[in-house]
Chains A and B, each alone.
Chain A
Amino acid sequence: VNYGPMVFLAAFFAMASSWFAFVLKPQLQTGQMVPTNTVPAGLSYPAARPGLAQQGLQVYRENGCYYCHSKQVMQESTVFEVILIEAGTNPPALQSAIAHLAPKLAESGKALEDLPKPILASVRKDRADRAVRLLTASGAEAIPWVRPTGPDIARGWGKRRSVAEDFLFDDPVMLGSQRVGPDLANVGVRQPDINWHLRHFYAPTVVVPGSVMPPYSYLFEKRRVGLRPSPNALAGGADLGVGPGFEVVPKPEALALAAYMISLRADAPLFSAPYSVPGTLPPPETIAETNAPSANGGAPTNAPSQ
């Protein structure tokens, strides 16, 4: 029997099925994605990066930074807290509700002090919903508080998991495959200082002792100080091993890369990756009778970064 055509068909069928599943379908599902809205602020997300940061994305690509840095925050699960905001006008009913939900807190007798106060911590959504209903029924005001968990989030690498929207305007999308260095999905939140980044590119081990990142000194120009020092020169040259009479001036590539680092902020709460942002809840003492802005600026801070 001549199996030649059969092998060809077999390979063709297998290839075609995987092509439909992992090329065509993803393109249909995510290739036409449009910006979404943050929840609950309703602002458009994501916004395109500033021009310099977009150039920095290309510097990131040209130097293969994606080999050592991932841009994917992983999230294990989501837990809920129940927070009591206002006691309302029926303290006995509320006390009994709290006694039902959190007996220890009720026994301590301080359940209604220092509001807002978490009544339940690290529970699943159904239990949090029940508790909120119970507390609300007693005339109090309570809200569920969404908290993503996982090692990455505990490390402070992100507030929530990375989602497809975070990379909507990137070209190319470089998600990374290894963590030789830390995850960069939110490096702009952790380290918004452009000078820190520039110094770090030039001499990583000086800025972060024990770092295994190679120095990117070729992104800088080391030169003799002219009539007056360059305004762009890196501060603290002596620490960076720059001799007296010399200064280190970042090249445009370094400035672009640093701008890109600062633009890496994927911390907007979205419908597909929700979390509660401190600040959406006005502190109780500022629930003012007037319309004046409250002490902390009043504005909800879940505005999308960038």
Chain B
Amino acid sequence: MIAVLPGERLLRVCLLSLFSSAAFWLVIGSIFSLIASIKFHSPEFLADHAWLTYGRVRAASTNLALYGFCIPGGLGAALWIIARVGGTNLVFAPGVLGGAVLLNVGVALGLGGILAGGQLTGFEYFEMPQYSAIFILLGYMLAGASAVLTLHSRSNRELAVPQWYLMAAIFWFPWIYSTAILLLLVYPVRGVAQSVVAWWYAANLQFVWITLAGLAAVFYLLPRTLGRELNSRHIALFGFWMLVLFGSWTGVPRSAPVPAWMPSMSIVATVMTSLLYISVLLAVWYTIRGTSHTDAGSERGVKKEPSVPSDGSADIPVRHVGAASQLGAQSRGCGTRSEAPLPTCLGAARFAKFAVAAFLLAGLISILPVIIGRGEWVTFTWLGPARWQFAIYGFFAIAVFACIYCSLSEFAGQGDELPRLANVQFWLASSGTLLIGLPLAGAGIIQALKLRNPDIAFVDVSKATLHFLRLSTVGDLLIVAANVILLFSIISCIARSRSASARAVIADSTAEVLR
């Protein structure tokens, strides 16, 4: 059991505030996504009210997933990983708390604006109106500042792979988001330049940022749950370069009515990202298989401490010396706590493996059609939403879930029910992802092939996809259930840790009195 230090308590409060708001918005967002999914095969469902029309419900679901869940959830996972790998306490914790408040205010305002006012910006995945976008940007920058300062105060100066990914992610979002706010909302550019900026922003958020943060979680969790080093660090760093170099150039679709070099550049970049997928596959495969042709510890010239029982031994000296320096002194190789294997009963490795599989599947969906026929034939089909489901939920969200469960077990102990909840949640979330992603991909391929043939009436093209869409509604239902379980786990953890910390406070104060 990790000792509850003052710094540890601060980290707990900060992370739980981020994670609980992320889970809350995820539940709301998935309910909207369920409504949107039902509307496809029953268009008259809830159609009598402007605020529940398909366009607004769909915008609400995607934007809640991105700004309600991915941003705070990703920030929380990033803070947790940075603190653990760096073996340090959270720095500038008020920034995180204030950031969480601002993010929640921004998302709530944006949701209201989209649903009630119809104040969608008109750019997909960037629909939060200007007044709420400002809150989101400020909230992110506050929490991000804390992440940067925490990273800076790390006791082990050498950066591990997850820290590379996270550092890039932290700086990436403010740049793209402020560009999009300025050039699309405040001083809108003219004509199709708007669409290009919007595509650029969407690709950088949904592909680059999401992948940076999600892969950091995977590259942190997998070695730690398996009790091994990441194998190999070089492959993972190669993937990092491929992602930031080529991922940021994707986004402009083949069909775009813009000068031809833009879609061509995007297509080349999309094909080049296959190097990223291959390197991730190799790194994860070698790590799971555990063959160590390079020992990451010795490679960095650091002698690994033989079997320091980090749990028990960390407890005693920490009381006397500062937490950070002690943890740093204990193992210079990489932070102590990153060495300590996570409890396997939570299945964090399983979460991480599924996340990687979904990531690769999303990559396959985006690259294969480009290689076969330049991607023209699948634009405007359901393959896009299928890819979104795999990338955002199957990959990113499930990787963040694993971080959430592991941090919960560190904060409040596992108890009896946490492993059970994590288990049920994993199966619901993963089967839900597959039940949405695979039917949508099937619908997309059928739609693409039928749209190619002008003799097939358009109404028949849509009819051919209906069965797949019905199936995906079942998946949406499972995902709502999975998200509710996540929210319940976090809330019950907060309840347990509050009673535990109350007991600890009482024990501390009585100890003072008794001595």
B59 near A64 with CB under 8 A, answer yes
B48 near A168 with CB under 8 A, answer no
A1-57: which have CB < 8 Å to B?
Answer: 1-4, 7-8, 10-12, 14-15, 17-19, 21-23, 26-27, 29-33
Question: Please, what's the 1-or-0 string for A231-250, where 1 marks a CB less than 8 Å from any CB in chain B?
Answer: 00000000000000000000
B452 near A151 with CB under 8 A, answer yes
Main secondary structure of the interface of B (DSSP, over half): helix
> For the complex, is B53 an interface residue (Cβ under 8 Å from A)?
yes
Indicate which residue in B48, B157, B188, B259 contacts A30 across the interface (CB closer than 8 Å).
Answer: B259
A64 near B249 with CB under 8 A, answer no
B43 near A215 with CB under 8 A, answer yes
> For the complex, is B192 an interface residue (Cβ under 8 Å from A)?
yes
Question: Please, what's the 1-or-0 string for B179-201, where 1 marks a CB less than 8 Å from any CB in chain A?
Answer: 10001100011111111110110
26 residue pairs from A and B, CB less than 8 Å apart: A3-B158, A4-B167, A7-B164, A10-B241, A11-B167, A14-B244, A26-B262, A27-B197, A31-B189, A33-B190, A61-B120, A62-B120, A63-B118, A74-B255, A151-B451, A154-B454, A155-B458, A164-B258, A175-B257, A179-B447, A181-B462, A211-B462, A212-B43, A212-B466, A215-B43, A217-B48
In the assembled complex, how far is the CB of residue A158 from the closest CB belonging to chain B, in whole angstroms?
Answer: 11
Known: A62-B118, A214-B43, A214-B44. A15 touches B50 (CB 8 A): no
> For the complex, is B291 an interface residue (Cβ under 8 Å from A)?
no
> For the complex, is A301 an interface residue (Cβ under 8 Å from B)?
no
Known: A64-B59, A155-B458. A26 touches B159 (CB 8 A): no
> For the complex, is B338 an interface residue (Cβ under 8 Å from A)?
no
A33 near B191 with CB under 8 A, answer yes
Q: Which of A102-110, A202-210, A277-285 contacts B (4 or more CB under 8 A)?
A: A202-210
A61-77: which have CB < 8 Å to B?
Answer: 61-68, 70, 72, 74, 76
> For the complex, is A186 an interface residue (Cβ under 8 Å from B)?
no
B191 near A30 with CB under 8 A, answer yes
> For the complex, is B381 an interface residue (Cβ under 8 Å from A)?
yes
Residues of B near A76 (CB, < 8 A) are 376
Q: Which one of A11, A154, A155, A218 has the greatest number of beta carbons of chain B within 10 Å?
A: A11
Residues of B near A193 (CB, < 8 A) are none
Q: Which of B16-24, B121-129, B346-354 contacts A (4 or more CB under 8 A)?
A: B121-129
Q: How far is the CA of A178 from the CA of B387 in the complex (A)?
A: 13
> For the complex, is B172 an interface residue (Cβ under 8 Å from A)?
yes
Main secondary structure of the interface of A (DSSP, over half): loop
Question: Please, what's the 1-or-0 string for B376-387, where 1 marks a CB less than 8 Å from any CB in chain A?
Answer: 100111101100
Known: A18-B204, A168-B191. A23 touches B179 (CB 8 A): yes
Q: How far is the CA of A174 from the CA of B495 in the complex (A)?
A: 46
> For the complex, is B131 an interface residue (Cβ under 8 Å from A)?
no
Residue of A nearest to B123 (CB): A172
A11 near B253 with CB under 8 A, answer no
Q: How far is the CA of A11 from the CA of B163 in the complex (A)?
A: 13
B381 near A178 with CB under 8 A, answer yes
Question: Please, what's the 1-or-0 string for A168-180, where 1 marks a CB less than 8 Å from any CB in chain B?
Answer: 1111111111111
> For the complex, is B171 an interface residue (Cβ under 8 Å from A)?
yes
For the complex, count residues of A whose C-beta is within 8 A of B: 73
Q: How far is the CA of A152 from the CA of B168 in the complex (A)?
A: 41
Indicate which residue in B59, B179, B265 contacts A67 across the interface (CB closer than 8 Å).
Answer: B59
A164 near B191 with CB under 8 A, answer yes
Residue of A nearest to B382 (CB): A178
Q: How far is the CA of A27 from the CA of B262 in the complex (A)?
A: 12
Known: A63-B53, A182-B458, A218-B50. A176 touches B258 (CB 8 A): no
A27 near B172 with CB under 8 A, answer no
Residues of B near A179 (CB, < 8 A) are 380-381, 447, 451
B192 near A30 with CB under 8 A, answer yes
Residues of A near B194 (CB, < 8 A) are 171-173
> For the complex, is B475 an interface residue (Cβ under 8 Å from A)?
no
Indicate which residue in A4, A155, A205, A218 contacts B159 across the interface (CB closer than 8 Å).
Answer: A4
Indicate which residue in B158, B171, B197, B382 contacts A22 across the interface (CB closer than 8 Å).
Answer: B197
> For the complex, is A197 an interface residue (Cβ under 8 Å from B)?
no
B462 near A212 with CB under 8 A, answer yes
> For the complex, is B12 an interface residue (Cβ under 8 Å from A)?
no
**Extra 19 A-B pairs, beta carbons < 8 Å, given A11-B168, A31-B190:** A4-B159, A22-B196, A23-B197, A26-B193, A31-B191, A61-B122, A63-B56, A64-B56, A76-B376, A164-B192, A169-B191, A172-B122, A173-B191, A174-B122, A175-B257, A177-B253, A178-B382, A178-B385, A180-B462
Question: Please, what's the 1-or-0 string for B144-166, where 1 marks a CB less than 8 Å from any CB in chain A?
Answer: 00000001100001110001100
Indicate which residue in A2, A29, A62, A212 contacts B158 across the interface (CB closer than 8 Å).
Answer: A2
Indicate which residue in B39, B183, B240, B256 contacts A23 across the interface (CB closer than 8 Å).
Answer: B183
Q: How far is the CA of A214 from the CA of B385 in the complex (A)?
A: 19
Q: How far is the CA of A167 from the CA of B193 in the complex (A)?
A: 10
Indicate which residue in A12, A70, A214 contacts B171 across the interface (CB closer than 8 Å).
Answer: A12
Indicate which residue in B47, B193, B200, B384 contacts A18 across the interface (CB closer than 8 Å).
Answer: B200
Interface size band for B: 35 or more
A11 near B120 with CB under 8 A, answer no
> For the complex, is B459 an interface residue (Cβ under 8 Å from A)?
yes
Residue of B nearest to A168 (CB): B191
Chain A residues within CB distance 8 Å of chain B: 1-4, 7-8, 10-12, 14-15, 17-19, 21-23, 26-27, 29-33, 61-68, 70, 72, 74, 76, 151, 154-155, 161-164, 166-182, 204-205, 208-218
Residue of A nearest to B252 (CB): A22
B191-248: which have CB < 8 Å to A?
Answer: 191-197, 199-200, 204, 240-241, 244-245, 248
Residues of A near B163 (CB, < 8 A) are 7
B175 near A19 with CB under 8 A, answer yes
Q: Which one of A154, A162, A171, A175 has the greatest number of beta carbons of chain B within 10 Å?
A: A175
Residues of A near B463 (CB, < 8 A) are 210
Residues of A near B59 (CB, < 8 A) are 64, 67
In the assembled complex, how far is the CB of residue B132 from the closest CB belonging to chain A, in whole angstroms?
Answer: 16
A167 near B191 with CB under 8 A, answer yes
B44 near A64 with CB under 8 A, answer no
> For the complex, is B69 an interface residue (Cβ under 8 Å from A)?
no
In the assembled complex, how far is the CB of residue A1 from the closest CB belonging to chain B, in whole angstroms?
Answer: 7
Indicate which residue in A151, A172, A213 contacts B184 across the interface (CB closer than 8 Å).
Answer: A172
> For the complex, is B119 an interface residue (Cβ under 8 Å from A)?
yes
B53 near A64 with CB under 8 A, answer yes
B380 near A8 with CB under 8 A, answer no
B122 near A72 with CB under 8 A, answer no
B379 near A216 with CB under 8 A, answer no
B454 near A155 with CB under 8 A, answer yes
B43 near A213 with CB under 8 A, answer yes
In the assembled complex, how far is the CB of residue A203 from the closest CB belonging to chain B, in whole angstroms?
Answer: 10
Q: How far is the CA of A214 from the CA of B175 in the complex (A)?
A: 38
A2 near B159 with CB under 8 A, answer yes
Residues of A near B151 (CB, < 8 A) are 4
B257 near A11 with CB under 8 A, answer no
